[in-house]
Structure 1
């Protein structure tokens, strides 16, 4: 049995194509989804993300409004802009690109975004809905992308032992909640977990999101496991790799995501999905 290499590029393209058709239908009803992206400062990685988000909007037919502010923008100025965008009916989704410069309180900014326009799903209101199992609103982009990858590869989550390595608010915790909502039996591991290797070895589905290159090795997984790699690490030779040792693990796995080209492309596709959902909810 050969291992399935889960193609995130293809699956994310399928989602974008579906959204493109949906937006064409919405346009006929005079609904025009719009996304405002706010970038403060000149973080090179953030600039790349923002430009990729713009390209995805253009492809799907989502109007994109871009605000590129200088590094020295004050917290008050940023809060004022968010207030304007909250009130603007053309803007269905607001995304403030993180990280923000040190002098701006990230928490305060995320709280200021209207939860109905919080397409990144970072507002405590939206996170709270997921915690109580209400998945009708926005879903956090990377975790939702992971669930799509699993489902669109025809892998059943129900009743499976799911191990998540990493407990960040962006991936680890929310993906655990989504796996749980899909009837997986979930265990979360982190830097203080005892017998991490033994727990990983029991996983039917293993999600690695810890930011340590090639941390999960073949001796830590069981035969026929599904491996989802959220890590993006740059090696000394400049190449990208994930948190899972891909070459070492792929022979043993039933299915595995590559890095790059696995989870990465899904994040923007799911952001676009949230944006279209926002336009529907607001109209």
Structure 2
């Protein structure tokens, strides 16, 4: 059994990003990330703190745009358009999901795709779906792909079950894996006999946010489990979708909740901020 830690990959990425930012800064081209947060969602605030810490380590500037939860769609679009026209801002991340009264799609499409470092616009996603590699990648699916690559897990011919069909993870990850010649099944709340579907897969990716929901009933001893979900368990402690303690000595490989996918997601987002600056020169 292998625990798929991301520490070594994170260290390599850190070195690359630091070196590139240092070079850009010496030339007067320091990258700048704009963080747009609507409301006080604890998950958003936690992610924001992580990005601020990362940016400080790398020397990337940050512009925080903190907005009231009652903001209208039109007002939010106006804020996005200000960032589009701000030449100092290299990339923009908008925390999602947005409050229910906001038109998500209209807001997402208002962002200049050249600053879309988390790949939420249709132009960015089209490149992912078409298998083009010259655009930005959605950070969390990208992290899944990079970690599997780091462990030399070849996707060619593999059966993959992804639990979760969102545009943030499930759908783009499916297309990225298809581009590597995997056979992918996207599962969701209406999937019949879900445990049987996932148990038959070589690789199981879960992003439901249901703590410890992936148990031995969902996998087999040869399974690779990629755990993307984070939520509180019955004891109020943060947990992944996978029941890690139950699975770690049962499956062939599994990502831990800490030092796993989450650790490199923000790192890869920052890498794309640097790419955005490099492309703009």
Task: Please indicate the TM-score interval, normalised by the length of the shorter structure.
Answer: over 0.9
Structure 1 stretches of 4+ with a deviation exceeding 4 A read: none
Q: Which of 17, 27, 51 matches 2:25?
A: 27
Contact 1:46–1:97 (Cα < 8 Å) also in 2: yes
| CA positional deviation for 1:222 | 2.2
Contact 1:17 1:60 in 2 (8 A): no
Q: TM-score, normalised by structure 2?
A: 0.92
**Residue number among 253, 257, 261 corresponding to 1:255 in the alignment:** 253
2:187 match: 189
Q: Which residue of 1 aligns with 2:202?
A: 204
Deviation at 1:9, TM superposition (A): 4.5
What residue in structure 2 maps to residue 266 of structure 1? 264
For the Cα contact (< 8 Å) 1:163–1:188, is it kept in 2? yes
Tell me what 1:5 maps to. 3
* Structure 1: gaps spanning 5 or more residues: none
1:100, distance to aligned residue in structure 2 (A): 3.0
Q: Distance in 2 between matches of 1:78 and 1:220?
A: 41
Please list, as runs of the form range in 1=range in 2, the aligned pairs for 1:93-112 lying within 5 A after superposition: 93-112=91-110
Secondary structure of 2:145 counterpart: helix
Equivalent position of 1:114 in the other structure? 112
- Alpha-carbon distance in structure 2 between the residues aligned to 1:104 and 1:221: 38
What is residue 178 of structure 2 aligned with on the other side? 180
CA 1:81–1:171 in 2, change beyond 3 Å: closer, same or farther?
Answer: same
Q: Which whole-Å CA distance do the structure 2 matches of 1:98 and 1:148 have between them?
A: 23
Q: Tell me, yes or no, if the aligned pair for 1:240 and 1:260 is still in contact at 8 Å.
A: no
Deviation at 1:10, TM superposition (A): 4.6
RMSD: 1.9
Residue in structure 1 matched with residue 121 of structure 2 by the alignment: 123
Q: State whether residues 161 and 205 of structure 2, in contact with CA within 8 Å, keep that contact through their aligned partners in structure 1.
A: yes
CA distance in 2, matches of 1:27, 1:174: 33
Question: Contact conserved, 1:129 with 1:135, CA < 8 A, in 2?
Answer: yes
C-alpha distance 236-216 of structure 1, shift in aligned 2 (>3 A)? closer
Higher mean C-alpha displacement, 273-282 vs 206-215: 206-215
